[in-house]
Structure 1
Amino acid sequence: MAARTRAHVFVSGTVQGVYYRASTRDAAREAGVAGWVKNLADGRVEAVFEGPEDAVESMVEWCHEGSPAAEVEDVEVEDESPQGEDGFEIRY
């Protein structure tokens, strides 16, 4: 089994109200990555991706583009220890 890894991501730019969270959820499920995504009060989007290292890396890369209407300005990534996330959800 591939080693699991976890990335905690903060995305800034025009990333709310542009289907960023739904697109992230769909992409993560397609990549086989667990975790969650949510909007922050300051206008950023926060997400956690957990799974095989290559899949998590692909999701971090995906965040730089995001949904078609998004305009991503910055992506901050913090590596963390896996916490056994299961499934991928939008949090409110």
Structure 2
Amino acid sequence: MSDHYEAVRVRISGRVQGVGFRMWTRDEALRLGVTGWVRNEADGSVSVLIAGADCAIATMIERLRRGPAGALVSGLQTEAAQLGNMPTDFRITG
């Protein structure tokens, strides 16, 4: 696989709040060596910004499709994000 560096914004819907989704996402991101952030949204979804090698991002997206135990992912949308001002770690921001 390629080591191309990119950034992706992901929006996950379903039963994704109140099930440890943000902490699980941070742990998975740290395992994969990607940077970015995760936060809860007012509409009940979770937003994630992921930056890193494209192969790590692809793996992270597949993990987000399943989510942690207790989550029920019903939708996942992705869009390319700009690489400017990217975090140097992975944070829970809200």
Per the shorter chain, which TM-score range? Answer: over 0.9
2-11 or 45-54, larger mean C-alpha shift = 2-11
User: How many equivalent pairs are there?
Assistant: 91
Match of 1:88 in 2: 90
78-87 or 34-43, larger mean C-alpha shift = 78-87
SS of residue matched to 1:64: helix
Percent sequence identity over matched residues?
Answer: 35
Q: Unaligned regions of 5+ residues in structure 1, if any?
A: none
Alpha-carbon distance in structure 1 between the residues aligned to 2:82 and 2:63: 21
Alpha-carbon distance in structure 2 between the residues aligned to 1:56 and 1:85: 15
TM-score of the superposition, structure 2-length normalised? 0.92
Report Cα offsets for 1:66-85 as digits up to 9, x if no partner.
11110000000001232332
Q: CA RMSD in A?
A: 0.9
Q: Unaligned regions of 5+ residues in structure 2, if any?
A: none
Alpha-carbon distance in structure 1 between the residues aligned to 2:45 and 2:15: 8
Q: What amino acid is the match of 2:88?
A: D
Q: What amino acid is the match of 1:60?
A: I
SS of residue matched to 2:59: helix
Alpha-carbon distance in structure 2 between the residues aligned to 1:78 and 1:13: 18
